[in-house]
Amino acid sequence: MSAGGAVVGRLAPSPTGALHLGNARTFLLAWLSARSRGGRVLFRIEDLDHPKKKPGAASAMLDDLRWLGLDWDGAPVVQSRRLPVYRAALGRLLAAGRAYPCVCSRRDVEETQSAPHGRDPHTLAYGGRCRGRFASWEEACAALPPGRLPAWRFRAGPGLSAFDDLFLGRRTLDRAEIGDFAFARDPDGAGYLLACAVDDAAAGVTEVVRGADLVDAAHCQLQLLEALGLPAPAFCHVPLVVAEDGRRLAKRHGDTRLCALREAGVPPERVVGLLAWWSGLAPFGAELRPADLVAGFDMRRVPRAPAVLDDRARAFLGIRVPASAPRSPTLTPGHNV
């Protein structure tokens, strides 16, 4: 909570492609969480260092979310226009001895890591091979073949990283499990982990509602914020939407892009109705606007398990599974993120 006690939430999509039902579910919950407490909702376009960045995707995302009935306060913040802010934050980390350039490839890190496998690749445990190795970014660049860039790593301290997630409860992690994580692959420090943390703090964001795939990122971002002396938001990591096979939504599960549903003539109220049903907020088959869900919204009603795009949900929105897609096994009860 900020000094005035007002809730400030945000929607922060990356323009890597069209938004689908999974993104929409997360954004609806982020929006409801803030609006149901009279809070503000900010919008940020996270368009840094994305090899998959697509031209036109940012304005399409805004259109899709407006179509759904979401709104936000003020003009969207665009990260690629804020490079001096990230450069300044990086400068402070360097001055405090908390950042260094690293030339290790992902394979180098995988070969030397001791932490459990299966982590998000950007948080693989890193033992610190490049600590103190290069005097500058340029020196690290010179040690690499042309076309490859170093990464900035955070010099993590020992001990536990812990926070109270508003959805998942207490999250605790030995910092060594992540180690000196890479926070940007850019001379100015303009990468997701640093930029997102710095931007949330600069905008006075009090709560970050986002997908459960970013829990490890929260442990990294909290360390960055602490080192920068910036306030931390509350985190709320909500389950993803998956298909019956337990995997993230993909083309083989049917076209769940909001733009495709819109083009097919599906009313946005139907889409929101499905998202609300998945979230324990409405019975199956309801047709609603997001504003209809504001009164009485309670995050505790959202099921702990991922929402599942099953045949019933598909039929409701008229989504067809591509003929070539293999039938997937049904998700077993008790499956979790």
Q: 122, 152 in Cβ contact below 8 A?
A: no
Among 7, 8, 9, 12, binds ligand GLU (CB under 6 A): 12
Kindly give, in sequence order, each residue whose CB lies less than 8 Å from that of residue 285, ignoring residues fewer than 6 positions away. Answer: 273, 277, 316
DSSP one-letter code for 257 = B
Position 46 contacts ligand GLU (CB under 6 A): yes
Contact between 242 and 198 under an 8 Å Cβ cutoff? The reply is no
Decide: is 223 part of the binding site for ligand GLU (CB under 6 A).
no
Question: With respect to ligand GLU, which residue has the nearer C-beta, 12 or 313?
Answer: 12
Q: How far is the CB of 209 from ligand GLU (least distance, A)?
A: 8
Shortest separation between residue 50's beta carbon and ligand GLU, angstroms = 9
3-state secondary structure of 67: helix
Region from 11-19, 77-85, 144-152, 245-253 binding ligand GLU, contact rule CB under 6 A: 11-19
Q: For the window 103-142, what string marks contact with ligand GLU as x by the rule CB under 6 A?
A: ----------------------------------------
Q: Of 240, 235, 223, whose CA–CA distance to 306 is shortest?
A: 240
> Would you say 11 or 321 has its CB closer to ligand GLU?
11
Alpha helix ranges (H) inside the chain = 21-35, 57-68, 83-95, 106-112, 137-142, 192-203, 215-228, 258-263, 268-278, 311-317
Task: Provide the minimum distance between the beta carbon of 38 and ligand GLU in the complex, in angstroms, as a whole number.
Answer: 22
**Residue placing its CB nearer to ligand GLU in the complex, 208 or 228:** 208
- The CA distance from 196 to 182, in Å, is 14
The owner of tokens 């402070």 is 92
Q: Does 214 bind ligand GLU (CB under 6 A)?
A: yes
Question: Does 242 contact ligand GLU by CB under 6 A?
Answer: no
Which residue, 11 or 125, has its beta carbon nearer to ligand GLU? 11
* Cβ distance to ligand GLU smaller for residue 28 or 196: 196
**Among 190, 175, 152, 143, residue whose Cα is nearest residue 47:** 190
Binding of residue 237 to ligand GLU (CB under 6 A): no
Nearest to 173 by CA among 153, 188, 191, 159: 159
Stretch binding ligand GLU (CB under 6 A), from 12-20, 66-74, 245-253, 260-268: 12-20
Contact 69, 41 (CB under 8 A): no
Q: Does 14 bind ligand GLU (CB under 6 A)?
A: yes
> Which residues inside 181-200 make contact with ligand GLU, applying CB under 6 A?
196
> CB of 324: closest distance to ligand GLU in angstroms?
28
> Which among 29, 65, 71, 20 is positioned nearest to 268, based on CA atoms?
65
User: At closest approach, how far in Å is the CB of 89 from ligand GLU?
Assistant: 16
Closest residue to ligand GLU, judged by C-beta, is 210
Task: Give the span between the Cα atoms of 33 and 300, in whole angstroms.
Answer: 11
Q: Which of 35, 122, 153, 210 is in the footprint of ligand GLU by CB under 6 A?
A: 210
Query: What's the min distance (Å) between Cβ of 196 and ligand GLU?
Result: 5
Contact with ligand GLU (CB under 6 A) among 7, 8, 9, 13: 13
Min separation Cβ 269 and ligand GLU, Å: 25
Write the CB contacts of 283 (distance below 8 Å, at least 6 apart in sequence).
277
User: Is residue 33 a contact residue for ligand GLU (CB under 6 A)?
Assistant: no
Tokens 């394979």 appear where? 107
Residue 320 identity (one-letter amino acid): R
CA distances from 321 to 37, 195, 250, 254, 259 (A): 39, 37, 11, 4, 17
- Residues near ligand GLU (CB under 6 A) are 12-14, 46, 196, 208, 210, 214
